[in-house]
């Protein structure tokens, strides 16, 4: 061939680089190994993971954290199939993601679809973000073409910013100024769109009570006086006007329907996705557009009317009373001295000792639910959890992605990954990945020997007397006293097995001080430890 040659793999790598792709996660094999090597050669950071599913979760978290899609690289067949969990999770979460899979070789004529790259990048980022898949023919990877015949597409532009119709903004403002019991709900779409400054202004200027959804915690700091998270049910149930900023009225928000809401609650919905507007409730106003831009429009309109919600209203009194009550109940549980510890005691100590600006990754049923209420977030996009799909097994992939992004974009920021013992099991071998790349992640496994609840060692022994374990081990049970911390020490990280508050405090202090070494604290809690009684008991089994 005349002139300098470039391989298919190099083309792919260069095309991705041209789209400002920074991170690739995957597992190599025929035919994609060369793509990973070529990606590293052009300066894309490649993280080799242990399961494609975790790799895909990691790549999607990069998309959420940076606003540009991460790439997940896999082989065809089973490799690709393992990414489906990650692709579904990213799509449902509205996070940009590109999965590249290698398929079998094909005829040369069917190749050369490289314009598809920028199109894929745009598809993942524009409008409502989500995942997309690119299938690379195997023989393309090692095919050589003349370098001079290749034209890379320029990096696609950032997503265009759309604003809401003026009449809709003014209608929304009219509804807001007449509200008696307003509530601002902030969703992870608001976090993703970096709307924190304008939303903060809206809260401060208008004196609105606000409630973050789980991953929107920190868009406005949880310790802001207007945060009513500790009175969540009351706030939802009695609000007469709700401003919904980048959150869907799905199961996380109880569908926007009674008995969790007033039947005639007026919802002002702000979303980038037109299809979302009017889902489940008939909104009082719909503002189609980018959250940051639309919040600014709304601010302007409310400024004109110089409206501020009075801080001495009955609504505020009711909310404040509820907040105080709920906080006292949690405090009571947190200070219980009995052993084994309960969830509240564990989170109480974690809250005291982890850095305020750490990125929190969390999954598990009770571990995630209770952790969400007990662990505050002070900065946006610093909480990653099972999300809209309630996916368990995302934690370690998310933690790896967060540690990579933190290392490059906010050095010194720690990642703390708090896992239920069941959730940890889904991708526990990624601890090897964490140690291989020496990512100083702190994993805390809140271990209750099971899924929801488990058995203590004595009950386990007793139970086994009844015969064949497969006939008598409760389906929710996992092996009691499993030493998950040894997975960490097996790969050179630090493992701690703790049973008392003192041991927990010491392990936390040691792990937080050591900023170089990955560590895992396996915290044994009461296997029957339950959450606080809920007002709506039929909903307590949700992953919320």
Cα distances (angstroms) measured from residue 359 to each of 132, 274, 375, 416, 418: 26, 32, 11, 6, 11
Pick the closer one to ligand ADP by CB: 74 or 252: 252
Indicate which single residue of 34, 421, 430, 485 sits in contact with Mg ion (rule: CB under 5 A).
Answer: 421
Indicate which single residue of 137, 209, 246, 493 sits in contact with ligand ADP (rule: CB under 6 A).
Answer: 246
Q: Which stretch binds ligand ADP (CB under 6 A): 169-177, 243-251, 344-352, 356-364?
A: 243-251
Indicate which single residue of 51, 66, 388, 449 sits in contact with ligand ADP (rule: CB under 6 A).
Answer: 388
Measured CA to CA, the distance from residue 246 to residue 238 in angstroms comes to 21
**Distance, CA of 536 to chain centre:** 26
Place of tokens 């199939």: 81
Per rule CB under 6 A, count of chain residues that contact ligand ADP: 23
Q: Which stretch binds ligand ADP (CB under 6 A): 40-48, 184-192, 377-385, 484-492?
A: 184-192
Cβ burial 435-456 (10 Å sphere, 16+ → b, else e): bbbebbbbbbbbbbbbbebbbb
What's the closest the beta carbon of residue 498 comes to Mg ion, in angstroms? 16
Q: Helix 8-18 vs helix 33-41: angle between axes, to the nearest 10 degrees?
A: 50
What's the closest the beta carbon of residue 365 comes to ligand ADP, in angstroms? 17
Pick the closer one to ligand ADP by CB: 276 or 301: 276
Pick the closer one to ligand ADP by CB: 82 or 383: 383
Residue 291 binds ligand ADP, judged by CB under 6 A: yes
What's the closest the beta carbon of residue 276 comes to ligand ADP, in angstroms? 5
Residue 440 binds ligand ADP, judged by CB under 6 A: no
The site partner of 187 among Mg ion, ligand ADP, none (C-beta below 5 to 8 Å per kind) is ligand ADP
- Write the Ramachandran bin of 449: left for phi over 0, alpha for psi from -120 to 50, otherwise beta: left
Residue 290 binds ligand ADP, judged by CB under 6 A: yes
Write out 279-307 in H/E/C secondary structure.
Answer: CCCCCCEEEECCHHHHHHHHHHHHHHCCC
Which pair of structure tokens corresponds to residue 296? Answer: 């600014």
Closest CA relative to residue 231, chosen from 324, 310, 312: 324
Binding mask 397-436 for ligand ADP (x = CB under 6 A): ----------------------------------------
Which pair of structure tokens corresponds to residue 224? Answer: 């802001």
DSSP class of 152: P
Pick the closer one to ligand ADP by CB: 279 or 505: 279
Peptide bond before residue 218 is cis, with ω within 30 degrees of 0: no
Closest CA relative to residue 143, chosen from 65, 221, 31, 56: 31
Report, in this order, helix, strand and coil percent for the chain, each rounded to 5: 45, 15, 40
Peptide bond before residue 411 is cis, with ω within 30 degrees of 0: no
DSSP class of 450: B
Residue 213 binds ligand ADP, judged by CB under 6 A: yes
Pick the closer one to Mg ion by CB: 382 or 522: 522
Peptide bond before residue 340 is cis, with ω within 30 degrees of 0: yes
Place of tokens 């911390």: 485
Residue 187 binds ligand ADP, judged by CB under 6 A: yes
Looking at 375-500, list the stretches that DSSP marks H as alpha helix, in order from N- to C-terminal side. Answer: 395-409, 421-426, 430-436, 457-464, 469-472, 485-490
Residue 216 binds ligand ADP, judged by CB under 6 A: yes
Phi, psi of 89 (to 5 degrees): -60, -40
Residue 448 binds ligand ADP, judged by CB under 6 A: no
- In the range 484-503, which residues lie near ligand ADP by CB under 6 A? none
Q: Which stretch binds ligand ADP (CB under 6 A): 57-65, 198-206, 211-219, 487-495?
A: 211-219
The site partner of 377 among ligand ADP, Mg ion, none (C-beta below 5 to 8 Å per kind) is none
- In the range 107-136, which residues lie near ligand ADP by CB under 6 A? 128
What's the closest the beta carbon of residue 386 comes to Mg ion, in angstroms? 14
Indicate which single residue of 189, 218, 364, 450 sits in contact with ligand ADP (rule: CB under 6 A).
Answer: 189
Indicate which single residue of 168, 173, 203, 272 sits in contact with ligand ADP (rule: CB under 6 A).
Answer: 272
Neighbours of 57 (CB within 10 A): 35
Residue 372 binds ligand ADP, judged by CB under 6 A: no
Measured CA to CA, the distance from residue 386 to residue 375 in angstroms comes to 16
Place of tokens 């868009």: 219
Binding mask 448-487 for Mg ion (x = CB under 5 A): x---------------------------------------
Measured CA to CA, the distance from residue 42 to residue 145 in angstroms comes to 18
Binding mask 374-413 for Mg ion (x = CB under 5 A): ----------------------------------------
Which pair of structure tokens corresponds to residue 517? Answer: 């070494």
Residue 192 binds ligand ADP, judged by CB under 6 A: yes
Residue 193 binds ligand ADP, judged by CB under 6 A: yes
| Residue at shortest CB range from ligand ADP | 189
Residues contributing to the site for ligand ADP (CB under 6 A)? 93-94, 128, 187-189, 192-193, 213, 215-216, 246-248, 250, 252, 271-273, 276, 290-291, 388
């Amino acid at each position: 061939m005349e002139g300098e040659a470039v391989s298919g793999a190099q083309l792919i790598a260069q095309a991705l680089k041209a789209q400002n792709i920074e991170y690739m996660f995957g597992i190599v094999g025929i035919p994609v190994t060369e793509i990973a090597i070529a990606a590293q050669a052009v300066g894309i950071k490649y993280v080799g993971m242990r399961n494609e599913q975790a790799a895909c979760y990691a790549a999607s978290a990069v998309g959420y954290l940076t606003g540009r899609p991460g790439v997940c690289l896999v082989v065809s067949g089973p490799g690709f199939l393992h990414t489906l969990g990650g692709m579904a999770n990213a799509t449902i979460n509205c996070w940009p993601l590109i999965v590249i899979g290698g398929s079998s070789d094909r005829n040369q004529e069917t190749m050369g679809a490289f314009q598809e790259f920028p199109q894929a990048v745009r598809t993942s980022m524009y409008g409502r973000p989500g995942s997309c898949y690119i299938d690379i023919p195997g023989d393309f990877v090692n095919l050589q073409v003349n370098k001079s015949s290749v034209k890379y597409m320029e990096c696609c532009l950032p997503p265009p910013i759309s604003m809401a119709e003026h009449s809709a903004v003014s209608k929304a403002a009219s509804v807001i100024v007449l509200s008696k019991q307003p509530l601002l709900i902030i969703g992870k779409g608001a976090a993703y769109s970096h709307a924190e400054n304008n939303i903060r202004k809206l809260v401060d200027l208008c004196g609105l009570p606000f409630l973050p959804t789980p991953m929107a915690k920190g868009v406005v700091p949880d310790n802001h006086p207007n945060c009513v998270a500790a009175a969540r049910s009351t706030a939802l149930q009695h609000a007469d006007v709700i401003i919904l900023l980048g959150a869907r009225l799905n199961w996380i928000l109880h569908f926007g329907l009674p008995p969790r809401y007033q039947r005639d609650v007026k919802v002002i919905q702000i979303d980038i996705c037109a299809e979302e507007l009017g889902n489940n409730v008939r909104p009082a106003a719909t503002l189609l557009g980018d959250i940051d831009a639309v919040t600014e429009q709304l601010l302007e309109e409310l400024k004109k009317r110089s409206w501020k919600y009075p801080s001495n209203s009955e609504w505020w009194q009711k909310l404040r009373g509820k907040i105080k009550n709920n906080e006292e109940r949690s405090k009571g549980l947190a200070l219980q001295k009995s052993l084994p510890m309960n969830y509240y005691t564990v989170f109480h100590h974690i809250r005291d000792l982890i850095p305020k600006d750490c990125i929190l990754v969390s999954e598990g049923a009770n571990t995630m639910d209770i952790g969400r209420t007990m662990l505050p977030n002070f900065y946006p996009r610093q909480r990653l959890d099972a999300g809209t799909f309630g996916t368990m097994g995302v934690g370690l992939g998310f933690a790896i992605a967060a540690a990579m992004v933190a290392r490059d974009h906010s050095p010194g920021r720690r990642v703390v990954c708090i896992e239920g013992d069941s959730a940890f099991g889904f991708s526990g071998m990624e601890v090897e990945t964490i140690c291989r790349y020496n990512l100083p992640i702190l994993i805390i496994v809140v271990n209750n020997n099971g899924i929801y609840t488990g058995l203590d060692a004595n009950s386990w022994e007793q139970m086994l007397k009844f015969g064949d374990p497969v006939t008598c081990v409760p389906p929710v049970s996992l092996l009691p006293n499993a030493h998950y911390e040894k997975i960490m020490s097996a790969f050179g990280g630090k493992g701690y097995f703790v049973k008392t508050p003192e041991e927990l405090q010491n392990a936390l202090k040691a792990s937080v001080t050591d900023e170089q070494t990955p560590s895992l604290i396996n915290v044994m809690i009461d296997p029957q430890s339950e959450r606080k009684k809920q007002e709506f008991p039929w909903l307590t089994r949700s992953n919320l």
